[in-house]
Structure 1
Amino acid sequence: MKNFEQSVEKAVADGVVLGAVVCAKGKVNYSKVFGNRTLKPQAEQMERDTVFVLASMTKLMTSIAVLQLVERGAVKLDDDVAPLLPVLAKQPILTGFGEDSTPITKERTGPITLRHLLTHSVGGTYEFANGDVLQWRKIQGLLGKPAVTVEEAFGHPLLYEPGESWCYGTGSDWAGKVVEALSGLSLEDYMKEHIWSPLGIKDITFWPAARPDMANRMCSMSIRDTRSGKAVQSRKPIEMAPGAQEAFGGQGAYATMGDYTEILNSLMVDDERLLKKATTAAMFRPQLTGDSRQALNEAMAHPEWAVGYYPPGTYNWGLGGLLVEGKTESWRKPGTLLWGGAINSAWFIDRVTGVCGAFGCNLLPSADPQIELLMKGFEEDIYGKAAADRPKTRL
């Protein structure tokens, strides 16, 4: 680990990052803290129990919640769940804009399924990721207005018929609403009862302000200063969903990297504390075909928008994250599941190699190239250690 640790320590010393926490489990059990979690009003060191913004790392937990309900027979992956999502269900397909900027739409004809929601093939995306959605929200007078519910934030038209293409987006947030509708619980209470408690973890929540013990351990948000290039602590809090009145299943949770890694490890070792073996296996199988798979690989051919390390290769989407489908130029084995969060944190699970891990860092803007080099170094060293510990074959 020395080269990786030296790289992060140098990054802290050079002001590239204020601090970070990394954890790995499986064939390599490792955790390390670097730098500071906050600098003002006074410097406080990063700790193993520092709490980070998960952002899109939340999506994996929402996928687990959905799949648990599928296991219990409450719903099927390919059921039409539109009746449970009235705001999304009534949204048409946005096909363009007229000369007077009037949106041109057509009626959606196909179903909306949980498989569509979990694999980003439902047609709903974020305004920052698509100019047409941005323009539609601008025309509606919605830009700059805090959205306190999933419906307010993402109740805009779809970009294509569900299942006919792929765009990274809001499906997990809507899937969280399905979990609430079917379980009768808030997403926080559902995850606490069915995901966090079974693993004995307590430092994950959608509402850190209601947990003083966690709020006091939050990692400060930092931003990359455009002039100096250094990471500086933000002068004011930056929230993923400011003013939110309900849990956003695609981006709203906070956690320590240690507790989050326990979730990764449960899926990797297949201990059935969260999901049955057959369900976990399905998470790690390709879900996209045809135009959807092609659209994903076109997006990943230029992965600068995505947080993490994504070398050239063939990708798909599982029921929880990006899936390495074919050989890439990296050490990851086909079947590896991984993804990141907008605040420059990331996770991976490689069940073939037997390693999983999480990299925690609160810094904007997203997909910071310097942080992604550290993420790459973290994975590289974990895999190197796993290979070094492999039993030698005797002739």
Structure 2
Amino acid sequence: MSTFEEQAAKAVESGESPGIVVIAKDKHGKLNYSKTFSRNGGTAYKEDSVLAVASMSKLITSVAAAQLVEKGLVTLDEDLSPLLPSLAKLEILTGFADDGTPITRKRKNPITLRQLLTHSSGTAYGFFDPLLARYVEWKKPRPDAGTVDEAFDLPLMFEPGEGFMYSTGIDRAGQLVEKLTGQSLEEYMKQNIWEPLGMTSTTFSPREHPDIQARQVPMSFRNSDKGVVVETGEQGWFEKGLKEPFGGQGIYTTMPDYMKLLHSLLVDDEKVLKKETAAMFFQPQLSPASKESLLKLMRGLEWAIGEFPQTDEYDWSLGGILIDGDKHEFRRKNTMIWSGAANTFWFIDRTAGVCGVFGTQIMPTFDAKSKSLIAAFEEDVYRRAGKL
């Protein structure tokens, strides 16, 4: 079998990938791996290239929200209705009447921060559920919706705490950060996460930072007929028209910057979270009903970037999907993982003592060719660290 580097170089040379940046580190300083791959005639992918990381924003926003808990501004399990009235007013979608109008009912359970961070609050993305997609078609939301309230004024899909659906909950958690601190999400993260970690190329607004914008890599879209990717000036759906920070999808950063957060959580250095708080990012957080809902999803639709074999050993932590067992080939129990729509990917395995990040800019999401490269990279990190 070819090595990851051979596979990545071939993918870039053949036009199957526009470019790749990967970084991996271990807990003890023995592994410090970084590599970039660029194709002739395309945009150069460098270590300091800036990528739209989409849902990789979620981990950073989750850390910000967890800091609020540390500061005593909110708890994980209190009712957030008084703090987030636009979220609190949402009802549960149950179906549609004969004339096509939606049928909703009031929720019974409170919505909590723990639920927002674990995608178990009842909120959802319109494209992940057929019933909600029908609602979006019925509502015909404004095409210029650029605030969290405008973009995600959608009904809940289940009682909070009683299901799982990948969701807009962390964008709502970003609203909570702004509400409780009186700062924009950008200002808060800069002071409390980015500056403490030395993340100097991270922002929600690259246009306001010429140096960052100058290093931004364009989005590429795969030509399904020929299998090659084409760089365009287009944006991904996750970054179009945003008028305020979206904590679940709006961050631009470099892979070295993002690695600083991953490594901080790996070594537990308390630069951004106390040890007891960081521990919850590596512990199961779902209720039994929500976990079963997640497992049902994992058995069906291919909806996650990266390899997730059918082990039935998954939960969700405060920061990402959690490996909840020992059946995986090399991931240890309580490894935390997630990704971004443009086929970016990260993982932290505290037991094995390794973490890694894979950066590219390819749409559409769930790109099969990128998936195989990500799987090869992840396995390569464990091999380089001597953990296979």
Give the conservation status (yes or no) of the 8 Å contact 2:284–2:322: yes
Alignment partner, residue 377 of structure 2: 378
Give the conservation status (yes or no) of the 8 Å contact 2:123–2:157: yes
Alignment partner, residue 86 of structure 2: 87
Alignment partner, residue 147 of structure 1: 145
Measured after TM superposition, the shift of residue 202 of structure 1 is: 0.5
Q: Which amino acid counterpart does residue 10 of structure 2 have in structure 1?
A: K
Q: For residues 300-319 of structure 1, what are the structure 2 equivalents within 5 Å?
A: 300-302=298-300, 304-313=302-311, 314-319=313-318
**Partner SS for 2:302:** helix
Distance 2:94 2:209 in 1: 44
Give the conservation status (yes or no) of the 8 Å contact 2:54–2:239: no
Alignment partner, residue 204 of structure 1: 202
* Structure 1 stretches of 4+ moved >6 Å: none
Measured after TM superposition, the shift of residue 289 of structure 1 is: 2.7
Measured after TM superposition, the shift of residue 329 of structure 1 is: 3.2
Post-superposition Cα deviations, 1:56-113, rounded to whole Å, max 9, x if no partner, equal 0000001100111100101100011121111111011110111111111111121110
Give the conservation status (yes or no) of the 8 Å contact 2:43–2:217: no
Q: Which amino acid counterpart does residue 386 of structure 2 have in structure 1?
A: A
Q: CA RMSD in A?
A: 1.6
**Partner SS for 1:84:** coil
Q: Which amino acid counterpart does residue 269 of structure 2 have in structure 1?
A: D
Q: Which amino acid counterpart does residue 309 of structure 2 have in structure 1?
A: P
What is the total number of aligned residue pairs between the two structures?
384
Q: Which amino acid counterpart does residue 170 of structure 1 have in structure 2?
A: T
Q: Which amino acid counterpart does residue 258 of structure 2 have in structure 1?
A: Y
Q: Which amino acid counterpart does residue 29 of structure 1 have in structure 2?
A: N
Alignment partner, residue 64 of structure 1: 63
Post-superposition Cα deviations, 1:279-323, rounded to whole Å, max 9, x if no partner, equal 111111101132100010111123521112212221000000000
Alignment partner, residue 323 of structure 1: 322
Q: Which amino acid counterpart does residue 329 of structure 1 have in structure 2?
A: H
Distance 2:179 2:3 in 1: 48
Alignment partner, residue 104 of structure 2: 105
Distance 1:3 1:355 in 2: 19
Distance 1:66 1:55 in 2: 18
Alignment partner, residue 393 of structure 1: none
Measured after TM superposition, the shift of residue 193 of structure 1 is: 0.3
Q: Which amino acid counterpart does residue 57 of structure 1 have in structure 2?
A: M
- TM-score, normalised to structure 1, is 0.94
Distance 1:268 1:123 in 2: 30
Distance 1:91 1:220 in 2: 36
Distance 2:144 2:115 in 1: 27
Gaps of 5+ in 2: none
Alignment partner, residue 34 of structure 1: 37
Gaps of 5+ in 1: 391-395
Alignment partner, residue 13 of structure 1: 13
Measured after TM superposition, the shift of residue 330 of structure 1 is: 2.4
Identity %: 47
Alignment partner, residue 251 of structure 1: 249
- TM-score, normalised to structure 2, is 0.96
Alignment partner, residue 224 of structure 1: 222
Post-superposition Cα deviations, 1:160-180, rounded to whole Å, max 9, x if no partner, equal 110010000110000000000
Alignment partner, residue 178 of structure 2: 180
Give the conservation status (yes or no) of the 8 Å contact 1:303–1:310: no
Residues 235 and 275 (structure 1 numbering): CA distance in 2 closer, same or farther, change over 3 Å? closer
Distance 1:101 1:280 in 2: 46
Q: For residues 341-380 of structure 1, what are the structure 2 equivalents within 5 Å?
A: 341-380=340-379
Distance 2:189 2:212 in 1: 17
Alignment partner, residue 165 of structure 2: 167
Give the conservation status (yes or no) of the 8 Å contact 1:35–1:46: yes
Give the conservation status (yes or no) of the 8 Å contact 1:312–1:328: no
Tell me, yes or no, if structure 1 residue 299 matches structure 2 residue 297. yes
Q: For residues 93-132 of structure 1, what are the structure 2 equivalents within 5 Å?
A: 93-132=92-131
